[in-house]
Amino acid sequence: MEAFLSPKDSAKFIAENSQDVLVEEQGVRKVAEALFDKVSAKEFSLAGWKSLHELNPQAVSDDAVNWVFLADTLNFSFWSEHEDRKCLVKYRGKMYSGYWSLCAAINRALDAGIPITSAAYYATMTLEQVRHVFRSDTDVPMPLIEERHRILNETGTILLEKFGGSFVTCVKMSEKSALKLLRIVVENFPSYRDEATFKGTMVSFYKRAQILVADTWSALEGKGDGCFGDISSLTIFADYRIPQVLVHLGAMRYSDELMRKLHEGVMFQSGDKQEVEIRGCSIWCCGLICDHLLELYKKKGQNMSERINAVLLDYYLWDYARDHREDMKDIPIHRVRCIYY
């Protein structure tokens, strides 16, 4: 990890050198002010991870931690070429799309007696078994199914060989440090090495590794082995939804040239200059929103460092983006097919 800048330092470096993506200070302030009264809402709380999301595991248990590890190992690339033709998974009478289609497929498999969250199982799954477990209820399959198969086998084998087959072992090794757990994940599981080179500097985003730590924190309700004293050291998770909502809210802006490419549906490669600028500026922008929010409360004599951090801001903005798809349709997502987000 030493060779690469941390996600926070990467974001600063990228934002300072970005040409096609700009963080709008005024817009950042506006968003922080708009969120001021939301901080005490359940949408902005650790408890919201369970209470607002029926597919997330509800128990505090080893099974829940291993469920999170499986979900975040496969937590990438759900967007579809055409909005009206996408992978959907039906679970308990309800249709789920995008990231939630993954969770619905995991729970559907568990209900069918398939031990999909067990490393001993997914380390040796065949491609056909992976296709079956993650099958769509439309004629559009989940994207990158072959990569998902390869990553399941690779990750399951490592978890068995080095950590006794349970992610709980990694959590205990982290000794209640989010950054230590992040390091364990990135150093041991190759598919989590979400890194790039920008202007000759090695930068990192670690989107799936960071959301894995955050989701572990949430599943354990911030207690016991999940009581991470340094959870505020994490950044938001640079996916393809957060940039969209930041531009929609006016906290970030794309150059005309980049906006034109996005509207044309141009495919980017992971690590492209503009793709790195979108991801790095999103992280930096959200860090500034957090800082402003804390400052607004400080002016009222309130220290909200326990209630405001990048993880809770991310969860809030991601859910907001999900609920405001229609309002955001004029801001295209940036299209990348990769295993990192």
Ligand X SMILES: Nc1nc2c(c(CN[C@H]3C=C[C@H](O)[C@@H]3O)cn2[C@@H]2O[C@H](COP(=O)(O)O)[C@@H](O)[C@H]2O)c(=O)[nH]1
Binding test (CB under 6 A) with ligand X, winner from 22, 98, 127, 201:
98
CB of 50 to ligand X, least distance (A): 9
Q: Which is nearer to ligand X, 108 or 296 (CB)?
A: 108
Residue of 253, 252, 208 lying closest to 234 (CA atoms): 208
CB of 23 to ligand X, least distance (A): 17
Q: Which is nearer to ligand X, 14 or 211 (CB)?
A: 211
Binding test (CB under 6 A) with ligand X, winner from 314, 320, 336, 339:
314
Q: Which residues between 144 and 203 bind ligand X (CB under 6 A)?
A: none
Q: Which is nearer to ligand X, 45 or 118 (CB)?
A: 45
Q: Is the dihedral of CA 182, 187, 193, 198 positive or negative?
A: positive
Q: State the Cα–Cα distance between residues 188 and 80, nearest whole angstrom.
A: 31
Site string for ligand X, 233-262 (x = CB under 6 A): ---xx-xxxx--------------------
CB of 185 to ligand X, least distance (A): 15
Q: Which is nearer to ligand X, 142 or 236 (CB)?
A: 236
CB of 71 to ligand X, least distance (A): 8
* Site membership for ligand X, residue 78 (CB under 6 A): yes
Cβ proximity of 250 and 27 under 8 Å = yes
Which residues are annotated as catalytic?
Answer: 239
Q: State the Cα–Cα distance between residues 62 and 166, nearest whole angstrom.
A: 8
Site string for ligand X, 219-238 (x = CB under 6 A): -----------------xx-
* Site membership for ligand X, residue 67 (CB under 6 A): no
Tokens of 31: 């968003």
* Site membership for ligand X, residue 44 (CB under 6 A): no
Residue of 167, 161, 74, 77 lying closest to 123 (CA atoms): 161
CB of 300 to ligand X, least distance (A): 28
CB of 302 to ligand X, least distance (A): 25
Binding test (CB under 6 A) with ligand X, winner from 13, 36, 79, 297:
79
Residue of 281, 286, 184 lying closest to 228 (CA atoms): 184
Count of chain residues binding ligand X (CB under 6 A): 22
| Residue whose pair of structure tokens reads 């650790």 in the numeric block | 46
* Site membership for ligand X, residue 134 (CB under 6 A): no
**Which residues are near ligand X by CB under 6 A?**
49, 53, 56, 75-76, 78-79, 98-99, 211, 215, 236-237, 239-242, 314-315, 318, 322, 341
